[in-house]
Structures are given as C-alpha cells and as structure tokens.
C-alpha cells in the first residue's frame, strides 16, 4: 500500500531522515513516534509532498509518488493546528477538496452530509471555524481529510492542542472512524500513550533513524534498546553480566540489584548487556519467591490508582539512577525502610551490549 | 469626566484641526460668512456646471484605475516575495523606492520619459519601430496620470498586502495544496479572501489619495479636462471664486467617503463564504 524506501533528507548538516524504510498495509494505523526533532514530521511532510526527499522513493498502491506535487498525490493531511480555512464555513471547508476535484455539486452534498454525520457536526455546518471549540475544529479537519477518500491519511500531532480530557475522547473518535472506514493512516506523535492506544504498528524514531518497528505490545514489552525502553513508558535499566543456565532460555544475570534469573527467548547479544524491566512488573515479596531483591525506600508517592516508589539497593552507588516500582496496592511503608520485592523472570528484557 | 479630559491632548487636536477646516469649508460653500448671507447659489452654480462633471468623471476614472492597477500589480509581487529569494531585502528596498520620490518630481520624470522628444519616443524612433514621435503626454483620458498613480502607489499596496499575505499560516496554504488546489485556486479561494481587509485598506487609501491628487494631474494630466483638485485650485486662485472652490472641496470629500463605503461593500462578500451547501430540504 504505502512503501517508504531508503528515504534520506538533510537540512544543511542536520540529518532529518537517515535511510528510512517501512511499509504500511491497507487499512493499517501506523504511528511515527519520537521526541521533538527526531524527524517524524519531516517524514510525514515528505509523504504528503510538502518536503522533497534528497534520495529514496515513496510508493502508494504500486505508483511512485515522491516526484509529484502535494495536489497531485491522493493523500490528505490533518495538521497540528487543524489548518482550517478561517473564511469558510464548516461545510465549505469540508467541500474544499471536492471543489478542487470538480466533484459534481449533488455528489458534494451527499459526501458532505455523510462526513458531517460521521463527525457529529450537523448542527454546526454553517458556522465559521472561529465559532467552534478546539475538538470540533479537529473533527472538521478530520472530515475534510476523510471526504477526499484519500489513499493515505496523514496526521501531524492532531491532538496536541487539545486539553487532556478532550484528547482522550477525540483519540477514540479518530480510531473508531479509521477502523470503520478502513483508512490507511500514518500518524505522528510524541505522546507514547496516544501511540500505544491507537496504533496497529509503531515506528520509534530517534535522530532521523528508526530505532524499532513493531506492535504496541512489542514496543512496550520487548524494547530493543535503552532509547526505546526509556522513551516508551518508564523503565528500570541496569548493566548486567549474563551467563547461560542449564534450563532452556534461562540466564543468570548479575546486576546492581543482585543476582537475578531471566527467562528470554531471545539470547543476549553479549556477555555484558543492559537489562530493563517495567516499574509495574515488580511486586512485594511474600515469602521465598525467586528473583527477590531488596531496596531502601527513598521516596514514596500515593497517586490513587498506584503507589510510586523510588528506592536504591545496597549495590547501587549514589550517582546511579534509583529503582522505580509502581504498585497497585497501597504499600504501608515509610521512607528509609528496607523493602523486599520480586521481579518475575519473564519480565526482564535484554537490551544492547554495554560498551565501556 | 476624568477619562474625557485625558482624551483631550490626542483627540482634541485632531477634532480642532479637522473640525475647524471642515467648518470653514462648509461655511464658505454656503456663503454664510459673505455679505449676502447663507445661500445655495454656489452649490447650484457648481452642480449646473458641465466642467465639474467632466472633472468628476476624469478624477474618478484615473483614481479607480490607479488604485486598482496598484493592488493588481502588488498581489503577484507580494506572493512572489513570500518565497525565500536571494537578495530579498534589496529587492524590497528597490520596490519601495517610489514612495520616497515626491509626486511632482515623479510627474516630471515621467514627462521626460514619455514626452514628444522623450526617452521612449527617441528609443522607438532609433529602433525603427515608429516613424514619427507619438503624443502621449497630457492625454485626454488620463493614462499618464493612471501610470503615475500605479507607479507611486504600488509600494504602499505592497506593504499592506505583503504583511497580510505573510500572516496567513503556512499550514493553511499547505492544506489548500494538499486538498488539490492549483496555484490559481490557492490564490483566488484562500489568499485573496484572507487578505480582503488589507485589500480594502489599500484600495480606499490609494483611491482617496488619487481622487484628491494635484501634483500628477497638474503636470502630467490632460490639458482639456481638469482633475477635481486642479479645478478647485483654478477656481479659487485664477477666478477667485472661493465659495465655489469650497463646494468642489466638499464634493471631493463626499466622493471619497461615498467611494470608501462602496469599495468596502463591493469587496466584503469575498471575505467569507458561509452560504449553506446543504439545502434545508435535503433528504440525503
């Protein structure tokens, strides 16, 4: 459907896209996720035709399109600022693309009526964008893009201007419309929660390069390196010395939490590697479970649904990061107390080699 | 009361200067200060004078064409200047140069260029394009004045339109291209409506300036028809008919105000498009 092949783009010395390749299947929702300046919007704008790649190819439905102007590509973009035409009513905004395509007026009315009902803006159809709320404006932008029946719909951080509550509801609206109409979607965001909640596939970008590509579960539970582990959610990362155990897929690791057992289908890439685990993976030790470790509580925060605990093991020096644990049960302890936790062996993940 | 007093230094000066001039001209036009007392004779005289109507026609056509020409020329230049161009600052400086040339000087410069033995005629003769010099100065229609108005006012229109065009968000223009708009459609359906307030300001200010123009009309204008300001000048200084000159002055002011309203009303419908696309009886 959409194929990105070896795309490279530089702005003077800055490499915005460095040999990027990926595919988006028909009806798939793919998110480009990364911190500010990682090149995700540049990549999206190259797909939309607003930037020209220095090298590489972009194909949609078997047709090469990277040499075409934006108006000649069958893509539709939802901009971060919505980019609604301030002088046109909601209806005229939605019909703008249809007018350019010279779609007959009767068909325009049908498409418009359908789009308005899809985004629930029938009552606002003759208002100007300035008379709408942020969420409503976003829905107009979405309707304006959808009505074009594009091969690929592109979203550039569309929810970043909305407040937290509205963001959640519009997130679900976009996702359900995408599923319902089987829209092939490329979505750009720096919000990992948004990416995890909406995507079929996430592509994590950093400094113009793809760090990891996979399903939200893959990216969260099976990060390939420290950048991905740290960028998506919270992660505890330790240097570890690994040795193989007799049991299949079992490894013994020595790290600053002590000696732990790791069960992993993927073998570590070297003897000294980084390991990571999620703060919610650990739980309070009940008795003599495997993989117990002890930490001294340094900070404690009750957040309602979880208790956030920060602590340090006896092997950690002061300069090192502490350990973060999130517990779903209320923990009756206090700062300075020593607590014992268990880390299930299948929740520890091997990352890249430690290069000293 | 205190607030009103605070307004006096700014507003008071304007009201005093404008008001006293307006008061004088109104009083004069009705002959209130003359020995014969208030009368409509000067208005009646002026309004029955065919020369006045020829002057109104001449001034209106040169100022309409001059102001329209300036904005029509300024739009593509402003669109072009929106792009990143090497030497942009120098180009903008050069384009603004006519603003710093006084009207009289500009009129003499143009006369030198297009006069019977001016640069244009001599060049065309030398190139063999014409056999004898053309008489294009002080033409009856007023084209030389129109050209001067356009030359002089394009930089001003450019300043207003450029700032308006530059204030359009680039993603709005990107969205237009993304939705399939050609360059012309992008201009006509997005840029033009969004710059209507600047267009109105440019058109009205240039038009009013051109309607009351004296310098261009007196040097490069027609020898057979006077512009309103030239007519007013001669009426007052050559014929000493100050009351009739005051009537012409008031006519210029009324025409300016009326034209400003008309220009606003003509251009306003282009600014927004909110007409219902789906009729009320639409059944789907």
* Residues of B with Cβ-Cβ distance to A87 under 8 angstroms: 193-194, 271-273
Weakest mean pLDDT among A52-56, A276-280, A313-317: A313-317
| Cα–Cα distance for residue pair B243/A42, rounded to 1 Å | 70
| Cα–Cα distance for residue pair A281/A325, rounded to 1 Å | 8
pLDDT tens figures, A248-260: 899 999 998 889 9
Closest to B74 measured CA to CA, from B189, B191, B182: B191
* Residues of A with Cβ-Cβ distance to B169 under 8 angstroms: 81, 83
- Asked whether the beta carbons of A5 and A64 are under 8 A apart, the reply is no
Give CA B22 to chain center in angstroms.
22
pLDDT at A141: 92
Weakest mean pLDDT among A196-205, A275-284, B130-139: B130-139
274-303 in chain A: CB under 8 A from chain B: none
| Cα–Cα distance for residue pair A255/A21, rounded to 1 Å | 36
Q: Is the dihedral of CA B221, B226, B228, B233 positive or negative?
A: positive
Q: How far apart are the first and last CA of chain A?
A: 43
pLDDT at B67: 95
Token couple for A226 = 């420290």
CB pairs under 8 A between A and B: 99
Other CB atoms within 10 A of residue B225 CB: 18
Token couple for B234 = 């001669």
Q: Per the CB < 8 Å rule, is B272 touching A71?
A: no
169-188 in chain B: CB under 8 A from chain A: 169, 171-172, 174-182, 185
pLDDT tens figures, B149-197: 998 899 999 999 999 999 999 999 999 999 999 999 999 999 999 999 9
Q: Which residues pair with A263 in a beta bridge?
A: A250
pLDDT tens figures, A137-160: 988 998 999 898 899 999 999 888
* Residues of B with Cβ-Cβ distance to A109 under 8 angstroms: 277-279, 282
> Is 90 exceeded by the pLDDT of residue B138?
no
| Cα–Cα distance for residue pair A134/B208, rounded to 1 Å | 42
Token couple for A168 = 């959640």
Contacts of B106 (CB under 8 A, 6+ apart): B98, B148, B151, B152, B215, B216
| Cα–Cα distance for residue pair A30/B192, rounded to 1 Å | 37
Closest to B231 measured CA to CA, from B205, B257, B255, B263: B255
What's the rounded mean pLDDT across residues B21-41? 85
Min Cα–Cα distance to chain B from A232, Å: 29
* Residues of B with Cβ-Cβ distance to A95 under 8 angstroms: 277
Higher pLDDT, A96 or B280: A96
Q: Which of A80, A91, A108 sits opposite B276 (nearest CB)?
A: A91
Q: Does B271 touch chain A (CB under 8 A)?
A: yes
What's the rounded mean pLDDT across residues B261-276? 89
Contacts of B83 (CB under 8 A, 6+ apart): none
Q: Are strands A75-78 and A152-156 parallel, antiparallel or unpaired?
A: parallel
Q: Per the CB < 8 Å rule, is B177 touching A113?
A: no
* Residues of B with Cβ-Cβ distance to A50 under 8 angstroms: 174, 177-178
Q: Does B190 touch chain A (CB under 8 A)?
A: yes
Distances (CA, A) of B165 to A204, A304, B161: 37, 51, 6
The alpha helices in chain B, defined as continuous H runs, are: 2-7, 13-29, 41-47, 50-81, 88-96, 103-114, 119-126, 143-166, 170-178, 183-186, 192-194, 196-211, 215-220, 228-237, 242-267
Strand order in the sheet with A2-11: A14-24, A2-11, A55-60, A63-64
pLDDT at B194: 96
pLDDT at B284: 62
Q: Which residue has the tokens 């793919």?
A: A30
ipTM: 0.79
* Residues of B with Cβ-Cβ distance to A96 under 8 angstroms: 176, 179, 181, 189
What's the CA angle centered on B190, arms A183 and A152, to 5 degrees? 15
> Is 80 exceeded by the pLDDT of residue A43?
yes
- Asked whether the beta carbons of B103 and B212 are under 8 A apart, the reply is no
| Secondary structure string (H, E, C) spanning A288-306 | CCCCEEEEEEEEEEECCCC
- Asked whether the beta carbons of A21 and A5 are under 8 A apart, the reply is yes
Contacts of B76 (CB under 8 A, 6+ apart): none
Q: Whole-number mean pLDDT of chain A?
A: 90
Distances (CA, A) of A227 to A215, A232, A234, A237, A255: 17, 8, 11, 10, 20
Q: Does A69 touch chain B (CB under 8 A)?
A: yes
pLDDT at A319: 67
Q: Per the CB < 8 Å rule, is A79 touching B194?
A: no
Closest to A46 measured CA to CA, from A66, A16, A30, A63: A66
pLDDT tens figures, B257-267: 999 999 999 99
Q: Does A91 touch chain B (CB under 8 A)?
A: yes
Q: Which residue has the tokens 């419309």?
A: A177
What's the rounded mean pLDDT across residues A325-349? 88
pLDDT tens figures, B95-136: 888 888 888 888 888 788 888 888 888 999 999 998 988 877
Best to test chain B binding among A51, A68, A71 (most B CBs inside 10 Å): A71
For B117, the 3-state DSSP assignment is coil
The per-residue DSSP string of A220-239 comes to HHS-SSHHHHHHSS--EEEE
| Cα–Cα distance for residue pair B4/A7, rounded to 1 Å | 66
Min Cα–Cα distance to chain A from B53, Å: 40
Q: Which residue has the tokens 């291209």?
A: B177
pLDDT tens figures, B187-240: 999 999 999 999 999 999 999 999 998 988 888 888 888 899 999 999 999 988
Q: Which of A96, A108, A126 sits opposite B274 (nearest CB)?
A: A126
Question: Checking phi first, is residue B236 left (phi over 0); if not, alpha (psi -120 to 50) or beta?
Answer: alpha
Count of positions (residues) in chain B: 284
Count of positions (residues) in chain A: 356
Q: Per the CB < 8 Å rule, is A91 touching B278?
A: yes
| Residue percentage of chain B with pLDDT more than 90 | 47
> Is 80 exceeded by the pLDDT of residue B66?
yes
Best to test chain A binding among B170, B178, B267 (most A CBs inside 10 Å): B178
What's the CA angle centered on B180, arms B176 and B186, to 5 degrees? 45
Give CA A344 to chain center in angstroms.
26
Min Cα–Cα distance to chain A from B264, Å: 17
Helices B50-81, B88-96: inter-axial angle, 10-degree rounding = 170
Q: Which of A80, A110, A126 sits opposite B276 (nearest CB)?
A: A126
> Is 70 exceeded by the pLDDT of residue B15?
yes
* B268: Cα within 13 Å, side-chain hemisphere: 6
pLDDT at B106: 82
């Amino acid at each position: 459907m959409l194929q990105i092949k070896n795309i490279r783009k530089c702005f003077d010395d800055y490499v915005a896209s460095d040999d990027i390749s990926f595919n988006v299947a028909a009806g798939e929702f793919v998110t480009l996720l990364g911190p500010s300046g990682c090149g995700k919007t540049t990549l999206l704008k190259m797909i939309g035709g607003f930037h020209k790649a220095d090298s590489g190819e972009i194909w949609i439905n078997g047709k090469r399109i990277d040499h075409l102007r934006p108006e000649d590509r069958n893509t539709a973009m939802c901009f971060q600022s919505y980019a609604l035409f301030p002088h046109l009513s909601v209806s005229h905004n939605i019909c703008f693309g249809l007018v350019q395509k010279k779609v007959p007026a009767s068909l325009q009315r049908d498409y418009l009526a359908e789009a308005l009902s899809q985004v629930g803006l029938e009552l606002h159809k003759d208002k100007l964008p300035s008379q709408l709320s942020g969420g409503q404006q976003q829905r107009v932008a979405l309707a304006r893009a959808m009505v074009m029946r594009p091969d690929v719909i592109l979203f550039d951080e569309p929810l970043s201007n909305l407040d937290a509550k509205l963001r959640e509801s519009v997130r679900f609206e976009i996702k359900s419309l995408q599923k319902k109409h089987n829209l092939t979607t490329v979505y750009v965001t720096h919000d990992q929660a948004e990416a995890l909640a909406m995507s079929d596939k996430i592509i994590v970008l950093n400094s113009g390069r793809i760090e990891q590509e996979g399903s939200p579960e893959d990216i969260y539970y099976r990060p390939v390196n420290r950048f991905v582990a740290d960028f998506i959610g919270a992660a505890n990362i330790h240097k570890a010395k690994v040795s193989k155990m007799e049991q299949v897929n079992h490894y013994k690791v020595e790290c600053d939490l002590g000696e732990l057992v790791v069960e992993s289908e993927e073998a570590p890439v070297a003897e000294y590697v980084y390991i990571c685990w999620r703060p919610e993976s650990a739980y309070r030790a009940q008795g003599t479970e495997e993989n117990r470790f002890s930490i001294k509580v340094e900070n404690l925060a009750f957040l309602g649904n979880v208790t956030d605990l920060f602590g340090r093991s006896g092997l950690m020096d002061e300069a090192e990061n502490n350990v973060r644990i999130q517990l779903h049960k209320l923990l009756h302890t206090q700062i300075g107390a020593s607590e014992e936790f268990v880390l299930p062996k299948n929740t520890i993940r091997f990352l890249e080699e430690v290069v000293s | 009361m205190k607030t009103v007093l605070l307004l006096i230094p700014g507003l008071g000066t304007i009201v005093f200067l404008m008001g006293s001039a307006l008061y004088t001209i109104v009083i004069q036009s009705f002959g209130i200060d003359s020995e014969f007392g208030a009368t409509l004779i000067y208005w009646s005289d002026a309004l029955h004078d065919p020369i006045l109507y020829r002057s109104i026609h001449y001034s209106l056509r040169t100022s309409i064409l001059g102001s329209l020409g300036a904005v029509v020329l300024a739009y593509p230049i402003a669109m072009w200047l929106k792009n990143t161009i090497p030497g942009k600052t120098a180009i903008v400086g050069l384009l603004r140069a006519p603003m710093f040339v006084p009207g009289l000087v500009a009129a003499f410069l143009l006369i030198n260029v297009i006069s019977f033995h001016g640069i244009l005629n001599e060049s065309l003769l030398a190139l063999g394009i014409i056999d004898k010099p053309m008489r294009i100065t002080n033409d009856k229609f007023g084209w030389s004045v129109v050209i001067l108005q356009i030359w002089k006012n394009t930089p001003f229109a450019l300043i207003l339109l450029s700032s308006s065009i530059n204030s359009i968000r680039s993603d709005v223009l990107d969205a237009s291209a993304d939705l399939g708009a050609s360059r012309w459609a992008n201009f006509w359906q997005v840029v033009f409506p969004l710059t209507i307030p600047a267009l109105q300001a440019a058109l009205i200010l240039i038009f009013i300036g051109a309607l009351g123009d004296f310098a261009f009309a007196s040097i490069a204008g027609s020898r057979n028809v006077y512009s309103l300001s030239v007519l007013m000048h001669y009426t007052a200084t050559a014929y000493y008919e100050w009351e009739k000159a005051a009537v012409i002055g008031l006519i210029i002011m009324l025409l300016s105000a009326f034209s400003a309203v008309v220009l606003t009303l003509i251009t306003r419908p282009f600014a927004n498009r909110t007409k219902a696309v789906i009729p009320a009886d639409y059944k789907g």
